Amino acid sequence: MAEDMITNYFYDEAAYNYHDGGYVPLEEPQTEQKPLNIPSLLKPDKETATDMYYTIVAQTGEVQLLPGQKTKTWGYNAPLLGQTVVFKRGKTIHLHLVNHLPEVTTFHWHGLAIPGPIEDGGCHAPVYPGQSRDVSFKINQPAAFVWLHAHPCPSTAEQVWHGLAAGAIVQDEHEASLPLPRNYGVDDLPIILQDRRFHENNQWDYRADYDPDGVAGPTPMINGTINPYFDVTTQKVRLRFLDGANRREWRLHFSDDLPFTQIAGDLSLLPHPVKMNKLLITCAERQEIIVDFGKYKPGDEVILYSDDVPLIHFRIHEFKPDNTVLPNTLYQRPDPEVDPDVPVHHVTLDGMDESVAMNGKKFKMDRIDFKMPLNQVQIWDICNTNPAPGMIHPYHMHGTAFEVISRDGHAPYPNELGLKDTVAINPGEHVKIKLWFDVPGVFMYHCHIIEHEDGGMMAQLQVIDPADPDKKYKLMDHMTLMKAFAEERHVPMDQLWLGGMDSYKKMGMEM
């Protein structure tokens, strides 16, 4: 591992979200510290040498987040967020998806390379209240921390805000062979970063907080815990960060500028460990780090901050010395050759507020914007057309992993050299990525500021299987889903409010 340490957050400081006119500053909670909630592992209904079976239930709940009245929440197999699902590489996964919510939802597996649009669980795979859907797919990708969230257009943001976001761990033999912490809940922790505003009686009010550039709240919520602490009982702790916020980017650092080592990004280990003391993570990204608490003694406290706001208090207890050394090489990234006959495909992330678009158009569920063959390796050029200072846009692709090739012709950041599914792009910047699909189907790609995707900064492509080039997919349209929302909310269509609808109406566009 190189001894050079990264001491900056990268990206254009002028575009950090705290310069946004609608920025909601984080505030340190004034409530008593509570133990960090560690989501339990979801037990398979059945597991064999080749298959795993799970039941995933979207449900309502109530959680004691603050003193006083419990907050009404949604979650997966839990009242808020969800239990962590484990997928093993090489196995076929069978999911029984159940909707116990009062309205239509979908189950999107963010980061899984599985067929679309149904298995992927985007907007074309609705599960209506009281109903279920069964899907099966095979896991054939490297070890990673992925996640499950709702994705019903144009109400993805509101349902995630209600609490529909949960972690999932892909395991493989290579990662298992490395000397990494993996005792879940002890030295291997999911850290889901979110924020909320609490209204009367400790309730959330998405419409009151609505901002077309992304909803944010002043209170940090970590794994569904307000003002958490964690008891450290091992010298080294692996933190699997997920930015599960609708809008917020997090500028993470520890007290004492404690260094840490990043070992993984979205969809794979990094090729080499990266030593740093600052880490910026944007919406939907995952970053895995190992923190070494070896210089502290029992009774000490180490704090994880975003900017100057405490997020987690790590309380140091007795632990055995750990002299484990990370290998210099963690992962060999695939490097398939680009098809020389295919021109670079250009994607633009356009606008802010209600004017957001992709390649100058707002998303339509029943429109295919691009087609590409299965397994063909292409270069895509993704440009954030907002002039500086503008906003950083996190760009996400369903159904595949990609490699970051360059930023405005320069090398990618050192901690984004593994496989990714989300990349943050500065205003005016061109980021080139290399991608290919191992599975066929219809897949969305979009900004992951969730209100931006609901507002139309999204498109979809069809990946064509040469063995079945004429396959047709039945694509839903926005109106079908909106009528379902109106019926379930018991309002006429002209009184239905979904955040993304405003963006289309104010631009004079039909969904």
Q: How confident is the model over 197-239, as pLDDT tens digits?
A: 999 999 999 999 999 999 999 999 999 999 999 999 999 999 9
Residues 26 and 41 reside in one and the same domain: no
Residue 7 belongs to some domain of the structure: no
The predicted model gives 48-52 an average pLDDT of 98
Domain boundary among 155, 176, 197: 176
Q: Is residue 337 part of a domain?
A: no
The answer, yes or no, to whether residue 57 has pLDDT greater than 90, is: yes
pLDDT 10s digits, 278-310: 999 999 999 999 999 999 999 999 999 999 999
Q: Which domain, by its residues, includes 309? A: 13-30+180-316
Q: Are residues 25 and 40 in the same domain?
A: no
Q: Per-residue DSSP letters for 140-175? A: -S-SEEEEEE---TT-HHHHHHHT-EEEEEEE-HHH
Over the range 86-102, which residues count as b (16 or more CB within 10 Å of their CB) and which as e?
bbbbebebbbebbbebe
Last residue of a domain, one of 134, 160, 176: 176
Residues of the chain with pLDDT > 70: what percent? 99
Encode pLDDT of 30-43 as tens digits. Answer: 999 999 999 999 99
Q: Both 428 and 409 in a single domain?
A: yes
Residues 156 and 251 in one domain: no
Residue 124, class by beta-carbon neighbours within 10 Å (0-12 exposed, 13-18 middle, 19+ buried)? buried
Going by C-beta distance under 8 Å and a sequence separation of 6 or more, which residues neighbour residue 497? 207
For residue 141, the domain's CATH number is 2.60.40.420
pTM over 0.85: yes
pLDDT for the residue numbered 511: 82
* Residue 462 lies inside a defined structural domain of this protein: yes
pLDDT at 2 over 70: no
What pLDDT, on the 0 to 100 scale, is given for residue 391? 93
Please give the mean pLDDT across all residues of the chain.
97
Task: Give the sign of the dihedral formed by CA 334, CA 50, CA 285, CA 485.
Answer: positive
Same domain? 405 vs 434: yes
Task: Convert 311-360 into a string of H (helix), E (strand) and C (coil).
Answer: EEEEEECCCCCCCCCCCCCCCCCCCCCCCCCCCCEEEEEECCHHHCEECC
Q: What is the mean pLDDT of residues 72-78?
A: 98
Are 124 and 25 within one domain? no
pLDDT band at 66 (very low <50, low <70, confident <90, very high): very high
Give yes or no for residue 1 having a pLDDT over 50: no
What is the count of structural domains for the chain? 3
The tokens describing 61, both together, are 């709940």
